[in-house]
Amino acid sequence: MPRVKAAAIAAMIVVLALTTWFTSPRAVALHNVLHHLNFLPFMMAGMLFGWRGAVKALLFGILMQAPIIARHWARWPMDAQDQLLELTIFGSAGIIAGLLADRERVQRLRVESTKHELEDVYTELRENVEKMKKTERLSAAGQLAASLAHEIRNPLASISGAAGILKRGNASPDNKQECLGILEKESQRLNKLLTNFLDFARPRLPRFQRVDPRALVQSVTVLARHAAMRQQVAIIDDLSQQLPTVYCDAEQMKQVLLNIVLNAIQATQEGGNVVVKALVEGTDLWIEVRDEGCGMSSEELDRMFEPFFTTKESGTGLGLAVAANIVEQHGGVLRASNNPDKGMTFRLELPLERAQKMAGAL
């Protein structure tokens, strides 16, 4: 491409020289125009090829115009000198344009190299962040394994103690019953722990589908009613608002809500209420679970999503960790705050828009 441009400039110089040569000397006006047109190739050479290009174009122009100037010299020496002077001035203008173009080119190159450097730094940074995330995940996995070992050790100690008593064979019938009870309870506890842990450690991807939030909430309150009755707590669902269907994994959302509702029931004293309310807020679907329990201290609020964080004797501390994982996979948020009067409100916020996009992408 630069060759074509150089050839075009050279051709322009040659054509101008030839036309001038063959134009009658009496056509003064035409000569004047042709002469001034030499400005163009010099400028173009400067702009396209820098000051060196302009010098070359000027020398070539003078060379091509030399016979014309020489022919002129004999009759109108002043004119010929003028022509030479003007050619030189045109050429100088081209050279100045070339210098400016060179400077701009250098600056552009500098900007480009800075851009490349920045891109390199950015890539490196991203790789570092990925690496950090990976090590963080690994250390989280390590911590998790350590806590799991700790959680398993307690029931295992009870089980082996009870088994030891039974093995010796000298226990009273009452004692035997108690030992069998311990075996059953602790193995159930281990089973629950393991199931929850697997949910946490190997979360499956959500299978998005259209879900009616009303049906979702009702199916959870029906499931939780038994636990609520045992605790003598009333579950009330407040579904007065018109609700659009939402794209989510119904099973996973039920699990999330059930975890939150069971926590609320467990926290609430006899005779208290747990209210589950669904509403649309902006582009989000909010499901709020409000209890009348003891609320949470600031330390508990900080740690509640940590796996294995529990304040209950037979808790696994995985309910909220699993719930937060699932909600995150849905592009939503799970918030919790103490009520001004009594108890807690957990709020599940599912973005309608983004959830729809995610569903489309899957």
Ligand X SMILES: Nc1ncnc2c1ncn2[C@@H]1O[C@H](COP(=O)(O)OP(=O)(O)O)[C@@H](O)[C@H]1O
Residues that bind Mg ion (CB under 5 A): 263, 319
**Nearest partner of 295 among 346, 231, 221, 226, judged by Cα:** 346
Cα separation, 44 vs 344, in Å, equals: 77
Question: Of 246 and 296, which has the nearer Cβ to ligand X?
Answer: 296
Tokens encoding 262: 């069971």
SS3 36: helix
Give the helix/strand (H/E) hosting 203.
none
Residue 309 within binding range of ligand X, rule CB under 6 A: yes
What, of ligand X, Mg ion, none, does residue 248 touch, CB below 5 to 8 Å by kind? none
Question: Of 218 and 269, which has the nearer Cβ to ligand X?
Answer: 269
Binding residue for ligand X, selected from 259, 277, 290, 348, defined by CB under 6 A: 259
Backbone angles phi, psi at 27, to 5 degrees: -75, 75
Tokens encoding 178: 């108690």
10 Å Cβ neighbour count for 212? 13
What, of ligand X, Mg ion, none, does residue 267 touch, CB below 5 to 8 Å by kind? ligand X
CB of 278: closest distance to ligand X in angstroms?
18
Tokens encoding 132: 């950090």
What, of Mg ion, ligand X, none, does residue 304 touch, CB below 5 to 8 Å by kind? ligand X
Binding residue for ligand X, selected from 95, 320, 334, 350, defined by CB under 6 A: 320
Give me the residues paired with residue 227 across strands.
Answer: none
CB of 259: closest distance to Mg ion in angstroms?
5
CB of 151: closest distance to Mg ion in angstroms?
14
Tokens encoding 74: 């004999």
Give me the residues paired with residue 262 across strands.
Answer: none
Question: Of 53-61, 120-128, 155-163, 293-301, which segment contacts ligand X by CB under 6 A?
Answer: 293-301
Query: Under the rule (CB under 6 A), what is the footprint of ligand X?
Result: 259, 263-264, 267, 291, 293-294, 296, 300, 304, 309-312, 315-321, 344
